[in-house]
């Protein structure tokens, strides 16, 4: 068989494996959260808080969708016209048009252009979250965190582009196979490395002081059969008033992380409840599940890009001749952006199902539905979550069940419904 036929077969196998794996590991059935209970929960929330949350999201919405539209249009203009290829060539020109300069510097330049197009919307969002009291960052702190984020993305992206185009040069007929394997390996590597190396760039972590809460959290993890190394407190208050906690890392690096804002805004019982939810993710291996799905998806995407290289009209639009040359970076970005937009609702659905299972785990582990409901009310109030978002927005973007959904799930659990 030809390499293209092999690639088509490999893509088919990966897609079938991805669907089969997702069908088995994703909890498609979610715990009951009757709509009647949701409406009762909504009525129980203070009206002024609901109105404030609704107003907050109404102010964010225009800028968020404008940023999405501008980013998409920018990626399409760069990728589906020769402009992107010219930018890559421009980046490589001072270095004698060397392919490494084109691949790394050209790729970063293309991404930077799109980021700069959406930067005003990010700044506008910052003004809104500061005005509503969610963010505590000054413009200086915001700019520093933004620069850190760009720097981390540049390092990871530059290495990925260098590896990808090295493979396309060394194996011009079979780069799809090596590239798919490399993309899958990169997803797995980042899942293990990012929590350990990247999180400290943005937050300072200190061990939680010895006391009843730390003892309770460690005991909760032990009772759940999820070994953790430590309980850490993140200095989230330097940038936000939002409350959160999570379990990070694998094996010997696993630890419970609690925002310092959580310790000041929530009761100890509520901290235990939200930690029980996060332990549910660890116990079910949700990060590993997401990593495997991401690895399969990344491998399939590389092969799909290779097969799209047979579409001469697409390459002519981009002003390039092959998917394997660095001047096609902008086209790759445009295709990935489109795929992310199309696949977003499916990703959101999967995330909501996984989060709902973690909610059920927290209820089973603590047996305290009242505190779970109080904790969800607290999260929604402090974080200014829309307690009952519009259906279309919920289906398109919501990665978690809504506040009233989670409160309704607690009430159903209290009645013995599973």
| Cα(229)–Cα(151) distance, integer angstroms | 29
- What does the pLDDT look like over 62-115, one tens digit per residue? 999 999 999 999 999 999 999 999 999 999 999 999 999 999 999 999 999 999
b/e per residue 127-160 (b: at least 16 CB within 10 A): ebbeebebbbbeeeebeeeeeeeeeeeeeeebeb
Residue 278 appears among annotated catalytic residues? yes
Which two three-digit tokens encode residue 284?
């079910």
State how far the alpha carbon of 22 is from the alpha carbons of 12, 28, 187, 291, 406, in Å: 15, 9, 17, 12, 24
- What does the pLDDT look like over 342-392, one tens digit per residue? 999 999 999 999 999 999 999 999 999 999 999 999 999 999 999 999 999
b/e per residue 244-269 (b: at least 16 CB within 10 A): bbbbbbeeeebbbbbbbbbbebbeeb
| CATH 3.30.2010.10 intervals, the chain | 204-284
Dihedrals φ, ψ of 164, to 5°?
A: -65, -50
| Cα(27)–Cα(25) distance, integer angstroms | 6
The pLDDT, as a whole number, for residue 42 is 95
State how far the alpha carbon of 28 is from the alpha carbons of 22, 166, 351, 353, 357, in Å: 9, 40, 10, 6, 9
> Are the CB atoms for 314 and 56 separated by under 8 Å?
no
pLDDT band at 192 (very low <50, low <70, confident <90, very high): confident
- What does the pLDDT look like over 14-62, one tens digit per residue? 999 999 999 999 999 888 999 999 999 999 999 999 999 999 999 999 9
**Residues within the annotated binding site for Zn(2+)?**
277, 281, 355
State how far the alpha carbon of 288 is from the alpha carbons of 11, 189, 251, 291, in Å: 22, 11, 12, 5
The pLDDT, as a whole number, for residue 29 is 86
| Cα(117)–Cα(227) distance, integer angstroms | 45
Residue pointed to by tokens 């989670």: 406
> Are the CB atoms for 410 and 356 separated by under 8 Å?
no
> Are the CB atoms for 238 and 269 separated by under 8 Å?
no
The pLDDT, as a whole number, for residue 299 is 96
The tally of CA atoms less than 13 A away on the side-chain side of residue 2 is 4
Which two three-digit tokens encode residue 306?
């290779």
| Cα(13)–Cα(300) distance, integer angstroms | 9
SS3 138: coil
Give this prediction's pTM: 0.91
DSSP secondary structure letters along 232-295:
EEE-GGGTB----EEEESSGGG-EEEEEHHHHHHS-HHHHHHHHHHHHHHHHHTHHHHHHHHHH
SS3 200: helix
Angle at 392 between CA 34 and CA 348, to 5 degrees: 80
Mean pLDDT of 168-191: 92
pLDDT band at 215 (very low <50, low <70, confident <90, very high): very high
Which two three-digit tokens encode residue 225?
């059969």
Residue 230 appears among annotated catalytic residues? no
pLDDT band at 315 (very low <50, low <70, confident <90, very high): very high
Return the CATH number of 204-284, one of 3.30.2010.10, 3.40.50.300, 3.40.47.10, 3.20.20.450.
3.30.2010.10
| Cα(258)–Cα(245) distance, integer angstroms | 4
Q: Checking DSSP bridges between strand 255-259 and strand 245-248, what pairing results, if any?
A: antiparallel
The pLDDT, as a whole number, for residue 237 is 92
**Residues within the annotated binding site?**
277, 281, 355
Given 359, 368, 388, 405, which residue is catalytic?
Answer: 359
- What does the pLDDT look like over 194-212, one tens digit per residue? 777 788 888 899 999 999 9
- Distance, C-alpha 417 to centroid of its chain: 31
Given 224, 265, 278, 325, which residue is catalytic?
Answer: 278
> Are the CB atoms for 232 and 255 separated by under 8 Å?
yes
């Amino acid at each position: 068989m030809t390499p293209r036929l092999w690639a088509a077969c490999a893509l088919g196998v990966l897609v079938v494996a991805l669907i089969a794996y997702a069908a088995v590991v994703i909890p498609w059935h979610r715990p009951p959260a009757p709509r009647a209970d949701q409406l009762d929960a909504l009525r129980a929330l203070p009206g002024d808080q609901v109105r404030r949350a609704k107003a907050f999201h109404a102010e964010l919405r225009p800028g968020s969708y404008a940023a999405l539209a501008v980013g998409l249009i920018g990626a399409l203009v760069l990728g589906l016209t020769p402009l992107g290829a010219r930018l890559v060539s421009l980046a490589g020109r001072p270095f004698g048009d060397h392919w490494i300069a084109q691949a790394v510097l050209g790729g970063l330049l293309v991404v930077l252009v799109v980021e700069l197009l959406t930067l005003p919307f990010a700044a506008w969002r910052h003004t809104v979250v500061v005005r509503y009291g969610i963010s505590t960052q000054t413009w200086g702190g915001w700019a520093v965190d933004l620069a850190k984020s760009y720097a981390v993305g540049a390092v990871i992206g530059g290495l990925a582009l260098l590896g990808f185009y090295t493979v396309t040069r060394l194996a011009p007929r079979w780069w799809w196979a090596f590239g798919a394997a490399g993309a899958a390996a990169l997803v797995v590597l980042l899942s293990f490395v990012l929590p350990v190396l990247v999180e400290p760039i943005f937050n300072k972590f200190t061990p939680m002081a010895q006391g009843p809460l730390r003892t309770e959290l460690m005991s909760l993890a032990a009772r759940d059969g999820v070994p953790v190394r430590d309980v850490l407190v993140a200095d989230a208050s330097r940038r936000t008033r939002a409350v959160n906690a999570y379990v990070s890392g694998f094996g010997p690096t696993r630890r419970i992380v609690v925002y310092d804002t959580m310790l000041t805004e929530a009761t100890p019982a509520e901290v235990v409840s939200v930690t029980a939810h996060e332990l549910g993710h660890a116990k079910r291996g949700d990060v590993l599940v997401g990593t495997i799905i991401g690895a399969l998806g990344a491998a399939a995407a590389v092969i799909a890009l290779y097969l799209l290289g047979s579409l001469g009209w697409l390459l002519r639009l981009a002003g390039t001749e092959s998917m394997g040359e660095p001047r096609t970076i902008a086209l790759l970005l445009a295709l990935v952006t489109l795929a992310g937009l199309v696949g977003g609702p499916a990703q959101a659905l999967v995330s909501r199902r996984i989060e709902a299972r973690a909610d059920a785990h927290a209820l089973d582990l603590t047996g305290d539905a009242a505190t779970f409901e109080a904790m969800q009310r607290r999260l929604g109030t402090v974080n200014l979550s829309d307690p009952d978002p519009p259906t279309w927005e919920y289906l398109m973007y919501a990665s978690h069940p809504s506040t009233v959904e989670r409160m309704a799930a607690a009430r159903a659990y209290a009645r013995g419904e599973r």
